[in-house]
Amino acid sequence: MKQSENKKVKKNIHLIANAHLDPVWLWRWQEGCSEALSTFRTAAELTDEFSGFVFNHNESILYQWVKENDPVLYNKILECVKEGKWNIMGGWYLQPDCNMPSGESIIRNIQVGRRFFKEEFNVIPTTAINFDSFGHSRGLVQILKQAGYDSYIVCRPGENWYQFPDQDFVWKGFADSEIIVHRSDENYNSIWGQAEEELTKFLDYKKEEDVTLFLWGVGDHGGGPSRKDLADLQKRIEEDGDVCIIHSTPEDYFRELAEKNPKLHEITEGLNPVAQGCYTSQIRVKQKHRLLENELYSAEKMASMAEIQYGRTYPRELFREVEKTLLFSEFHDALPGSGSPQVEEDTLRLLEYGLELISREKHSAALTLAKEEGRVKEGSSTILYYNPHPYDITGVFVCEVGLPKQNWTTEFMYPEVMYNGERIPTQAEKENSNFAIDWRKKVVVQATLKAASMNRMDVFFKPMEKRPVFHEIVSKLKYIFDNGRMKVVINTTNGLLEEYSVDGINYLTKDSFELASFDDTYNPWGIRTGESSARRSFQLLTPHEGSEFSGLKSKVIPSVRVIEDGEVRTTIEAVFGMHNSKAYIRYQLPKSGTEFDVEVGVLFLEKEQYLKLMLHTPYTEHNFMGQIMFGREELKQGEETVSQKWVMVQEKDSDRAVAVLNKGTHGASCKEGELGLTLLRSAGYTAADFVMGKALQEEQWAPRMEQGERFYQFRITAGNSKELSEHLDQMAQAYNEEPYAFAYCPPGYQETNGVSKEGIFLGVDQPGIIISAMKKSEDKDGYILRLYESVGEDTLTTISVLNNTITKGVEFKAHEIKTFYLSVKDGTLEETSMIEME
C-alpha cells in the first residue's frame, strides 16, 4: 500500500466567526446602531490583517444602518464580500422570535432581508440563522424550504432538551418538508480573549464528530472577533496536527456534512419550550404586535381590492414602511418581553407608529371601496362594514355613529337597522364617550357580512323616554342565559361561570373564568410552575368595594350585574379583587349562535406574580391543541406552552371540544381538564442572577412589569370536534382581522374601472383554506395571493377571483402553503415562489 493511502484524513473544524448583535436588549436601538458600526468596522479591518480570515454576519437592518451612517465602511464591506473575506450569513431582516409571529410575518422577514442582500451584494444565503430565538415553531420548516434554504442553525433549545447527543438532525415539518438543523452546543459567542481555550474544550467534547462547526466571536452587544483571539487561533491552526481548523461559513460546513452523509436523528415537533416566561412577559407589546399584524394584512387586502375595482393606487412604500416596523418589533428580545423598560416603551411607540400609518391607509381604501354606495337616506345614519375575507362572516358587529340630527332633549334615541332591505336585530349599548348628551350611538347588530364586499346598514332612530335600565340579578343564586342552543349559567355569589352548554352538551363547568394569581420568579425568561408556586384567587368584591372600583361615588350597586341587554346580546359584568389588585369580567352572550365573548380588565399591582384566567372543562382525558405558524400542533400538558390565535381542549374518545380564540395572548397551560390562559407576569425587567449574584437586591425602588391596567378579549366556542376543527383558523382570522366598520355619508358615484362590483370579488370554497396574504407584487403589476391548509387534511379547493372571471382548482397537502401570482390584465392565477425577487 502506498504511503499516501495510509495517511489519515484530518477532520475539518469549521470556525464561524460572527458577532451576535442584538439591536435592542439591555440597550435601546440607538446604541445597537452605534455598536453595529463599531463591530463591522473592526471586522473589516481584521479581514485585511489576517490572511484567510472570514467574518460572517446576518440581519439586513444592521447593514442598512451602516449604509445610511458610514458609506465608507459600507463600501469596504462590499469589497470584502466580493473578495470572499466577508460572508453574508442567514439573510433575514433580523433574528425574530420564532413562535409568536404569524407565518406570514416570518415570510416577510425573509423576503425583506433576501431582497436587500441580493440587490446590494448579489448574495442569497442557503443556511438560515436564528441563534438566540427562544424556541422554534414547527411551521418554520416548510417556510424555510419554500424560501430556498437547505439548512438551519439554532442554539435553543439546549442539548438537554434533545434525546440524542448529536448536534445535527433532520427537522420534519408540514407538507413533507424537512431541513437539516445544527444546534450549536457551544452557544453563539465566546468570551473576549478565550476563543482558543473554548475551542480546545469543545473539540474534546465533540471529538466523535466527523466534522465540527464552532461559532465564536464576542456577542450580544456585538464585538465579534478580536486581534488576540485571531492571533491565538492562527497559532493553533499552524500548530495543530490532529485536525484541520479552517475559517469557514455555514454553507461550507453543511456542504461537507452532506458529502459525509451521516445518518441523522429526526424530530417531528416544534423545538419548544424555551424560556416559557417570554410567552407572556410585556403583554402590551404582544397585543400591539398582533394588532399591527392584523391591521397590515387586512389593509393590504383592502388596498388590493380598491386598486383592482376602482383604480386607486396601491401604496407600496407605505406598506413597506409598516412592514419593517412590524418586523423590528418581532426581534427576539422585543416581542418576547426580555428587554429593558426603555426597549418596551420604544417597541410600543414603534408599533403605534405602524398602526397610525396603516389606519390612514385602511380608511382611505375603505372610502374608495364605498364610492358607489348610495347617498344617506332621510332621517338615518349609515354604517358600512367591509369584509376583506373570501367567506361570509356571521356574528355580532359593533360600530359607533352619530345621530342624523343633534338631540338637545332628554329623550334617548334608540337605533333600528335596515340591512339588505330587512330589519335586523339591533341594540344600543353604552357609547365610548361620557358626555351627558344623546348624540353618539354604539350600534350593535347581529348579521351576516358578505364575503369580500362592502356591507351597508342604514340606521334609523326612535325616541325613548330614557336610556334602558336593567333588572338586578343577584336576588337569585344563579343567572341562567339560554338562547335555545347555548346555555350559560353565572353564579351570582362569586361572579364565575358554572355552565356553558351547546345543544345540551356541557363544555365548561363550575368556577370557570376564575382569575388565579401564582407566585413567580422575577426573571422575565422563566416562569415558576408546580407545587412551589402558591395560588391565590380574585374574589368577588362587596357591593361597596365594587362600586368604588367602578367609579361610582354616589351609589352602591351589586358586584354582579346586567350592564347591556337587547335583541342582540346580554352582557353580564362582575368585579373582583385580590390584595392590591382589582379586575372586571364581562360575559357577552349573544341571543343566537353557540359562541360568546369574554372581556377582562385588570388593575394589577402585585409583584413577581403571574395571572391566569382559568377555565374548567368536564374532561379528565383530553388532547390539548394550539395554532402555530401555518398549522397546528398538540401542546404539552402540565406545562406552559406557546401558541398563536387559538387553543383547543378535545375530549379523548368523544367528538366534543372547546376552543378559545384570543387577540394577543400566547401563553397557556392545561392539566386535568383545567385550561389556564396566561394574562400577565409582573417580573423584573431583564432580571437574571449571574456572576454578580442575585438580581434586584439593590436597596431602592425597582420597576416590575404589568403594573397598572391591562385588557384582554377572548371568544369561547364549542361543539363537534371535527366541525370545530375545520373552521377554527377561519374563525380566528375573522376575530382578529375584523371587518372594517365606519360611519359615512357615501357620495353615490358611479365608477366601474371595468370591473364588475356584483357578486363575490374573492372566494375560496373550503373553510380550512385560509388566505394569509393578498397584496400587490413587489415588482410587477399583479398581486400576490398566499393560502394555506389549516386543518391538517389533504384538500381540493377552488379559488375564484373577480367574481368568478378567474377560477382555479388547487390541491393542498395537509398544512401546505401555496403562493400565487394574480394578473388582472391577463386574467390568470398561477402558482409562484414564496419569496418575491426581481
pLDDT digits 0-9 by tens, 6-64: 456 789 999 999 999 999 999 999 999 999 999 999 999 999 999 999 999 999 999 99
Residue 125 to residues 59, 92, 94, 109: CA-CA distances in angstroms? Answer: 12, 9, 14, 14
* pLDDT tops 50 at residue 4: no
How deeply is 838 buried, as exposed, middle or buried, from its count of CB atoms within 10 A (0-12, 13-18, 19+)?
Answer: exposed
- Predicted TM-score (pTM) of the model is 0.97
The rounded distance, in Å, linking the Cα atoms of 389 and 366 is 14
* pLDDT tops 80 at residue 704: yes
pLDDT at residue 240 in the model: 75
The rounded distance, in Å, linking the Cα atoms of 726 and 8 is 59
User: Residue 582: pLDDT band by 50, 70, 90 thresholds?
Assistant: very high
The rounded distance, in Å, linking the Cα atoms of 688 and 695 is 6
Neighbours of 404 (CB within 10 A): 18
Q: Strands across the sheet with 828-832, in order? A: 769-776, 783-789, 817-823, 828-832
Distance of CA 827 to the CA centre of its chain: 34
User: Residue 759: pLDDT band by 50, 70, 90 thresholds?
Assistant: low
Mapped onto helix, strand or coil, the DSSP state of residue 705 is coil
Ramachandran class of 753: left when φ > 0, alpha when ψ lies in -120 to 50, beta otherwise: left
pLDDT tens figures, 135-183: 999 999 999 999 999 999 999 999 999 999 999 999 999 999 999 999 9
Residue (of 247, 224, 223, 222) closest to 234 by Cα position: 247
pLDDT at residue 37 in the model: 98
pLDDT at residue 346 in the model: 98
The rounded distance, in Å, linking the Cα atoms of 97 and 333 is 8
Residue 710, C-alpha cell as written in the block: 391591562
pLDDT at residue 241 in the model: 78
List own/partner pairs for 155-163 with CB under 8 A and 24 or more apart: 155/131, 155/183, 155/184, 155/187, 155/188, 156/132, 156/271, 156/274, 156/275, 157/183, 157/271, 157/272, 157/273, 157/274, 158/183, 158/185, 159/183, 159/185, 161/271, 161/274, 162/265, 162/267, 163/265
Element (H, E) at 369: helix 341-369
User: Residue 239: pLDDT band by 50, 70, 90 thresholds?
Assistant: confident
pLDDT at residue 756 in the model: 55
Cell numbers 354616589 correspond to 554
Rounded to 5, what percent of the chain is helix, strand, coil? 25, 35, 40
Neighbours of 108 (CB within 10 A): 25
* pLDDT tops 90 at residue 5: no
Among 81-85, 396-400, 572-576, 802-806, which is the least confidently predicted range? 802-806
User: Residue 193: pLDDT band by 50, 70, 90 thresholds?
Assistant: very high
pLDDT tens figures, 379-410: 999 999 999 999 999 999 999 999 999 999 99
Cell numbers 414564496 correspond to 834
Residues 6+ apart with CB under 8 A from 374: 746, 748
Residue % of the chain over a pLDDT of 70:
98
pLDDT tens figures, 666-684: 999 999 999 999 999 999 9
pLDDT at residue 751 in the model: 64
Residues 6+ apart with CB under 8 A from 233: 15, 195, 196, 199, 216, 245
Residue 464, C-alpha cell as written in the block: 325613548
User: Residue 757: pLDDT band by 50, 70, 90 thresholds?
Assistant: low
pLDDT at residue 753 in the model: 59
Residue (of 278, 83, 124, 41) closest to 833 by Cα position: 124
> If you average pLDDT over residues 238-260, what whole number do you get?
94
Residue (of 690, 672, 522, 520) closest to 609 by Cα position: 520
DSSP secondary structure string, 579-618?
A: TTEEEEEEEEEESSSS-EEEEEEEEE--SSEEEEEEEE-S
* pLDDT tops 90 at residue 761: no
Give the mean pLDDT of the chain: 96
* pLDDT tops 60 at residue 196: yes
Residue (of 251, 237, 244) closest to 51 by Cα position: 237
How deeply is 392 buried, as exposed, middle or buried, from its count of CB atoms within 10 A (0-12, 13-18, 19+)?
Answer: middle
Q: Strands across the sheet with 453-464, in order? A: 422-424, 412-419, 453-464, 380-387, 740-743
pLDDT tens figures, 79-101: 999 999 999 999 999 999 999 99
> If you average pLDDT over residues 348-364, what whole number do you get?
98
pLDDT at residue 92 in the model: 98
Residue 486 to residues 261, 502, 506: CA-CA distances in angstroms? Answer: 58, 5, 10
The rounded distance, in Å, linking the Cα atoms of 615 and 715 is 13
pLDDT at residue 533 in the model: 80
Mapped onto helix, strand or coil, the DSSP state of residue 162 is coil
- In this structure, what are the phi and psi dihedrals at residue 294, rounded to the nearest 5 degrees? -60, -45
pLDDT tens figures, 538-547: 999 999 999 9
The rounded distance, in Å, linking the Cα atoms of 202 and 191 is 14
